[in-house]
Structure 1
Amino acid sequence: MKNKISILFYAKSVKETKNGLIPIYLRITIDGKRIELSTSKFIEKSKWNSQSGKIKGNSEEARTINSYLDILRNKVYETEKNMINNNIDINSQTFKNKFLGIEERSHKLIILFEEHNKRMKELIGFEYSNNTYKKYETSLSHTKEFLQYQYNVSDIPLKNIDLAFLNDFDFYLRKVKKCNNNSTIKYIRNFGKIVKQAYTNGWIEKDPFVKYRGKVKEKERDFLTEQEIEDIMTKSFVTDRLTLVRDIFIFSCFTGLAYIDVKQLTNHNLTIGIDGDKWLFKNRQKTDTTSKIPLLPTAQAILDKYKNHPTCKNEGCLLPILSNQKMNAYLKEIADVCGIKKDLTFHIARHTFATTVTLSNGVPLETVSKMLGHTNLKTTQHYAKILDNKISNDMAILKQKFAVSNIKSSQSKKTS
């Protein structure tokens, strides 16, 4: 496709010097985008012919400057010709660099991806979790393997990434790497963060993700029922480690905090809320949004139980939580002992808080969303969709209202 290039010389009155001279500028417009460059030539305003884009008359000054402007005009056409002959994409930025003799830095995907991950690693514990970093490292690994598989190269210029590239990468992850739909989309979204960063920095002209249609499918979120919570809470364990893991898991069931947020809890997170009772104020590690959670009696009792634990005293934490790996391993033991058939992980506690503990008991969706620290109400709505028992209870109340209404209507007809 041929680019539409137009040239205009004009005198810029707003930049008039103290001597009453105004500068001459060159404006190059490529497909509607302007490049404005100073010619370093100055003239008296009255001498400029805006129609022809030249100095009036045939004076020595007019001939010299007009000749110089013609040279610049020819240079524009030569630059265009050179870029076409060398198969260089013509846009406002590449043309300006070529015209001014600036060597365009070759921005490549893998170099930028590695730099992004390096910075992310340095911010673990401040802005990112180690798990988030590992996910981006996996995305980087998949991207490198795809480039070798599809193009037999170790890296690729960012400007070569288009919708076709994204669709090929999507197919590769599904077909070759055997990723399910949601994993595929998440890997490409991680990859997309790098591409969007390049677009924001002006290193590529278009965002190839605008027309990418990948979509995460909702999946069922496991949570514990009231009976399952009761079974775990009332079970006596033969080892202290299982009792400890059970207690901290139940604490999360009644606060909705994720593993990393429970691990980071200190006395600074305990405060007196608007109602005069104890609350937990915690900035979520994942989103940096604040969760404000009134402490339910069960959660408060667990904090009281461990306040004198050696780990809590020595490290200043509220609970002596183990590593996430150990917590999940011991939770599987707890599930077996309690006869729970679900794949019990620590994160199920957060789902349980959202469903069984709050939404099922009539806590409004907006309130639950605030306590969970969600940045989008749609995230919380996923929990509401799976509560069939809540739908049943709500509809039972409605049926009862209709039944009473029908009885009154029948009685009214009999007396009339």
Structure 2
Amino acid sequence: MKTSNTIQTSTQFQSNSANELVNIYQEINSFMKSMDNRLRQLLNGQISIPDTITQPDTEVVSNEPTIISLMDDFILSRRNVKRAESTVKGYRIRANVVAFYAQKSGMELVPARNLKAGFMRKFTEWMISENYEGSTINSVLAFVKTVFHHAVGTDILPSSPILGFKPDKFTRPEPEPLSSDELLKMFTTNFPEDLRDAVECFWFQLYTGFHYADAKSLTNKNIIEKNGQKYLKKNRQKTAVLAVVPYSEQAQAIARYYGGIDKLPFPSRGSAYNKLLVKAGKIASTKHLYCSRARDTFTDYYLNTEGYTLESVALMLGHTDTDYVKKYARLRENRLINEFESKQV
């Protein structure tokens, strides 16, 4: 009897399993036919699949992260790991661009997982139409990509919804250092009193190559001396990478004039500093003047006039490789001649 019950139960189980398999097969077959029909319609142009959601589901919105909340979470995480305040501020500026577009296009409440590649394409087109510079567009798009990667890495999202988006790279314009004629104009121009401090700070940057944020935070602790030569040594605020530059007599003279390297009269904000430099550039009839122009000119001088190697200049600027140095230092005729002459036997 026990054996009979076992056989009966086994037979019934097999029968039920077979019926379930038939039902599952029928459901799969029906689904595949439906998808096949949809694919045919799609290929024939009868239907289209939207890249983004235009009408957010309010029941889902309140419970799911949005692009706005993802950016806030990312920026908070960067602040928590003690990233430089200037870097965090840069993230916030990029986030504001994204947030403005999201609100403008009605996407600020859409769940982040539903922002497909189409959202990124339209966002890029909008930035182009608003005349954003190519370097800014590259930077903002890279920021959004980083935000989504962070969301995946912290298990906020299961995967990045914009993986299929491959943006066009906008070419960064070649930096233009000040020419020797322009430097002479600046040196011989009698600037108004309200601009003199800013101009002297610019000269200090030009002699040292430091970025504005790093130059204005220098102290006597950053001065070292080896074999009778003084150097400035500092980890960059933006990247924490070490930069080492010769502390030239010209730079030392400027620091002495103001009572020390920690008393240089840099404006508290870079925007205010640049406004003063723009005025100074107009008076001296130079290129558009801003604080980074000093760094460009420093790089150009040490590469193309002094003939320093790319590796040495990268160390001076606080870069880990030479790729960035190549982008804004031009190879001039005199450097080529020097290299040719050095190789002659």
| Greater strand content | 1
Q: State the distance in 2 between where 1:114 and 1:399 align.
A: 54
Residue 334 of structure 2 is aligned with which of 374, 377, 393? Answer: 393
* 1:329 matched residue in structure 2: 275
* 1:365 matched residue in structure 2: 310
Closer, same or farther: CA 135–401 of 1 in aligned 2, 3 Å = closer
Structure 2 gap ranges (5+)? 14-19, 32-62
Shift of 1:272: 2.3
Quick one: which amino acid aligns to residue 291 of structure 1? A
Residue 292 of structure 1 is aligned with which of 228, 240, 244? Answer: 244
Closer, same or farther: CA 259–395 of 1 in aligned 2, 3 Å = closer
Shift of 1:286: 1.4
Shift of 1:244: 2.0
Q: State the distance in 1 between where 2:81 and 2:97 align.
A: 18
Q: State the distance in 1 between where 2:85 and 2:144 align.
A: 19
| Equivalence map 1:274-353=2 (5 Å) | 275-307=227-259, 317-323=262-268, 324-340=270-286, 342-353=287-298
Q: State the distance in 1 between where 2:82 and 2:99 align.
A: 19
Residue 263 of structure 1 is aligned with which of 216, 225, 232? Answer: 216
Q: State the distance in 2 between where 1:394 and 1:171 align.
A: 41
Q: State the distance in 2 between where 1:293 and 1:353 align.
A: 11
Shift of 1:118: 4.7
Q: State the distance in 1 between where 2:254 and 2:195 align.
A: 14
Closer, same or farther: CA 135–280 of 1 in aligned 2, 3 Å = same
For the aligned residues, what is the CA RMSD? 3.7
Shift of 1:394: 4.0
Q: Spell out, residue by residue over 1:27-51, the C-alpha distance to the aligned partner (whole angstroms, 9 max, x if none).
A: xxxxxxxxxxxxxxxxxxxxxxxxx
Closer, same or farther: CA 222–123 of 1 in aligned 2, 3 Å = farther
Is 2:186 aligned against 1:232?
A: yes
Structure 1 gap ranges (5+)? 1-56, 68-73, 86-104, 406-416
Shift of 1:374: 1.6
With the length of structure 2 as denominator, give the TM-score of the two structures.
0.71
| Equivalence map 1:189-200=2 (5 Å) | 189-200=142-153
Quick one: which amino acid aligns to residue 200 of structure 1? G
| Equivalence map 1:48-197=2 (5 Å) | 106-118=64-76, 126-129=84-87, 131-145=89-103, 149=105, 152-175=106-129, 177-197=130-150
Q: State the distance in 1 between where 2:271 and 2:160 align.
A: 42
Shift of 1:287: 1.3
Residue 242 of structure 1 is aligned with which of 172, 195, 206? Answer: 195
Shift of 1:399: 7.5
Quick one: which amino acid aligns to residue 368 of structure 1? V
Q: State the distance in 2 between where 1:119 and 1:170 align.
A: 26
How many residue pairs align between the two structures? Answer: 295
Q: State the distance in 1 between where 2:109 and 2:320 align.
A: 35
Larger of the two Rg values belongs to structure: 1
* 1:213 matched residue in structure 2: 167
Shift of 1:263: 1.3
Q: State the distance in 2 between where 1:265 and 1:397 align.
A: 35
Q: State the distance in 2 between where 1:370 and 1:399 align.
A: 25
Closer, same or farther: CA 110–206 of 1 in aligned 2, 3 Å = closer
Q: Spell out, residue by residue over 1:216-272, the C-alpha distance to the aligned partner (whole angstroms, 9 max, x if none).
A: 312021211223223323444452x43322221111011111111111111221122
Q: Is the 8 A contact 1:139 1:191 kept in 2?
A: no
Q: Is the 8 A contact 2:175 2:296 kept in 1?
A: yes
Q: Is the 8 A contact 2:274 2:289 kept in 1?
A: yes
Closer, same or farther: CA 108–357 of 1 in aligned 2, 3 Å = same
With the length of structure 1 as denominator, give the TM-score of the two structures.
0.60
**RCO higher in structure (CA 8 A, sep ≥6):** 2
Shift of 1:192: 1.4
Residue 377 of structure 1 is aligned with which of 318, 322, 327? Answer: 322
- State, as a whole percentage, how many aligned pairs show the same letter: 23
Quick one: which amino acid aligns to residue 285 of structure 1? Q
